[in-house]
Amino acid sequence: MKRRDILLIVLFVPCAALIVLFGFDIFPIADATLLRLLRETVPRLAAGGYLLLLLCLKGLGGSFCPKWRPMHLVWALPCLAVAVVNFPFSALLSGKAAIDRADLLPLFLLDCFAIALLEESFFRVLLVPLLKGERRGDLFAILISSALFGAMHLINLVSGNVGAVFLQVGYTFLLGCMLAVMLLRTGNAWLCILVHFVFDIGGTLVPELGHGPFQDLTFWILTAVFGVLCAVHIIVTLIRGKNPKNRSQNE
């Protein structure tokens, strides 16, 4: 047995133990918000970190060690803009929404990073190349990986809010398409994680740490405008058929 396989087996035990342990309500913490964040963050971080290590040791994590090119960052700006406008700027500035637990902001940010790391490692870094294979094109990998990414959120139907869940499935499918194209275009998983991280911060900041309606008219206008601009950007990229391999030959 190779050393890397031994390492994966050894590390699997504590990671699995953390995931199982934090799945039970056994911690004597009276702060309900703190307890909820801990129960969400620790398992996600353990699973994401283990998956990252697994991909790298198995030779599938090349996009975690990319060649940084300025044009890749420039290309990603419209996608980053979509994530930034997901912040509830107008609702917070107008007082319609407020943050009640600023003390938990560091843990909240760690949770958002853990989500981005875990989901990008699986749905983009692992699934996109696997679905693309040698015979299938980029579009197949983009659509199927994004459909699976969106369908994963159907688990939230247990909350009972059917309309909100199907809305989430729809926008996560579109977000998945954007991130899959980003990975194929730049070959950089960290850019995908950054955009996903920023998007989740904006979308969950008020629900997790505050109160009030945060998706006001200004929010939806900005979302629509930048969403359309980014969609055009993505479509043009797909039509031109540029990917990291083609780009590297031209740069």
What pLDDT does residue 68 have?
Answer: 86
Q: Is 26 in contact with 32 (CB distance < 8 Å)?
A: no
Cα 206 from Cα 196, distance rounded (Å): 17
The answer, yes or no, to whether residue 155 has pLDDT greater than 80, is: yes
Cα 192 from Cα 202, distance rounded (Å): 16
Spans of all domains in the chain: 68-250
Cα 246 from Cα 251, distance rounded (Å): 9
**Mean local confidence (pLDDT), 75-88:** 96
**Mean local confidence (pLDDT), 54-80:** 93
Closest to 185 in 3D by CA, of 82, 86, 74 = 74
Q: How confident is the model at residue 247 (pLDDT cuts 50, 70, 90)?
A: very low
pTM over 0.85: yes
**Mean local confidence (pLDDT), 29-40:** 93
Q: Rg of the chain's alpha carbons, rounded to an integer?
A: 19
- Token pair 């969403």 is at which residue? 227
